[in-house]
Amino acid sequence: MNYPNKKEHTNKTYIEYGNRGMTLESDINSSNSYYLDNNIAVIYKKPTPIKAVKVDYSKNKITEGYYEIPSTTDYNGIYKGKYIDFEAKETKSKTSFPISNIHKHQIKHLVRVIEHGGISFIIIRFTMVNKTFLIFTKDFISYFENNIKKSIPLSYIEEKGYLIKDGYNPVLDYLKIVDKFI
Amino acid sequence: MNYPNKKEHTNKTYIEYGNRGMTLESDINSSNSYYLDNNIAVIYKKPTPIKAVKVDYSKNKITEGYYEIPSTTDYNGIYKGKYIDFEAKETKSKTSFPISNIHKHQIKHLVRVIEHGGISFIIIRFTMVNKTFLIFTKDFISYFENNIKKSIPLSYIEEKGYLIKDGYNPVLDYLKIVDKFI
């Protein structure tokens, strides 16, 4: 008998990946699992913060809790000795990325990361045209500073950002783009 | 009239600190706020992961959720360009730190961080003797590798670890110890 997939993995999601219906979050998580299993990088999604109001401690169960706005970004970790920090967002727009999708304090956090010597960026997926881009903080920050623009045009993101090609393993090899800058 | 504490802060917890009843977690959080406000480091506690089973999306309310075991450690961030990652634990024991307090996958994570060029450690508070230590992963890892020992003696932690002195701002200046190694 054959056991073609017998190798142990920390997180098996990336093996089972196949359909195009996957979300950006699951694509990134599966890519991070791939990076982890192959000793390339240690990057995790942070849990969503929840304010637990009522807890039944005997059952370890929350009976009343509320989602809170995260203080920072969704993802961080280490790659080639560098601190990596990013946010990931999908948009259904075909022409631009609405900047209201990202909280101001998250932008502030991404800027702080650069100031302290880390690498920060956002990953934006245009779901209707099925394109995913990585754009570094320094290249989009002007849109958040002047408070005039309401969105970043796709054409600008195509020019200043980097298209992340779909792959199999990893699904979304965003570190390949980071490689160019470290 | 005088307003001695009028200065704005991102997080005010460290100003209000004063009593000895504060937990290790709040001491670290307030120190991290101090580091952040003074542009020293960007280190946050990760939210506790919760599995939300029933959610009332109209109210953004979780009516059934369960605490999960974290995949990684509680704290990470960036300091002087270095990736920092640590776990913090209190013990009521006067003589040793029970290693069952830390999950094996958390230890694995701390080791991975070193392998990728980051700095990792644990902060241990002996509440009964009111002493808080920082011990780097390389210096305690042998206790987790051989599966024989059930705890790390306080005497060993005093020898290989570093006492973090109580302060005012920051309450727990653990980065002062990290400074010696970067």
B124-155 tens-digit pLDDT: 999 999 999 999 999 999 998 877 789 999 99
Q: Residue A21 is encoded by which pair of tokens?
A: 């219906």
pLDDT, tens only, B17-62: 334 457 999 999 999 999 999 999 999 999 999 999 999 988 889 9
CA distance A85 to A72: 9
Residue A3 has pLDDT above 70, yes or no: no
On average, the pLDDT of chain B sits at 88
Q: Identify the CA nearest to A136 among candidates A69, A171, A182.
A: A182
Q: Identify the CA nearest to A110 among candidates A100, A123, A97.
A: A123
Mean pLDDT of the region B90-118: 96
Question: What proportion of chain A, given as a percentage, has pLDDT over 90?
Answer: 77
Q: Which residues of B fall within a CB distance of 8 Å from A50? A: 47-48, 50, 52, 62, 65
For chain B, first and last CA: distance in Å?
46
Nearest-CA residue of chain B relative to A85?
A: B77
Position A181 scores a pLDDT of: 86
A165 touching B (Cβ < 8 Å): no
| Residue A134 binned pLDDT confidence (cut-offs 50, 70, 90) | very high
> What's the pTM value of the predicted model, to 2 decimals?
0.86
**A154 vs chain B: nearest CA distance in angstroms?**
31
| Residue A69 binned pLDDT confidence (cut-offs 50, 70, 90) | confident
Position B176 scores a pLDDT of: 97
**A51 vs chain B: nearest CA distance in angstroms?**
10
Q: Residue B46 is encoded by which pair of tokens?
A: 């990760």
Q: Which domains are delineated in chain B? A: 13-179 (3.40.1350.10)
CA distance B174 to A157: 41
Residue A81 has pLDDT above 90, yes or no: yes
Residue A14 has pLDDT above 70, yes or no: no
Return the percent helix, strand and coil in chain A, to nearest 5: 30, 30, 40
> Is B85 within 8 Å of A64 when comparing Cβ atoms?
no
**B44 vs chain A: nearest CA distance in angstroms?**
8
Q: Which of B66, B79, B118 sits opposite A62 (nearest CB)?
A: B66
| Residue B3 binned pLDDT confidence (cut-offs 50, 70, 90) | very low
Position B145 scores a pLDDT of: 85
Q: Residue A14 is encoded by which pair of tokens?
A: 């990336």
Question: Which 4-63 residues of chain B touch chain A by CB within 8 A?
Answer: 36, 39, 41-42, 44, 46-50, 52, 60-63
CA distance A143 to A159: 15
Position A106 scores a pLDDT of: 95
Position B15 scores a pLDDT of: 34
Q: Residue B44 is encoded by which pair of tokens?
A: 């946050």
Mean pLDDT of the region B165-177: 95
Q: Which of A49-63, A120-134, B19-33 has the lowest mean pLDDT?
A: B19-33
> Is A65 within 8 Å of B66 when comparing Cβ atoms?
no
Position B31 scores a pLDDT of: 98
> Is B50 within 8 Å of A46 when comparing Cβ atoms?
no
Mean pLDDT of the region A132-144: 95
Q: Which residues of B fall within a CB distance of 8 Å from A64? A: 61-63
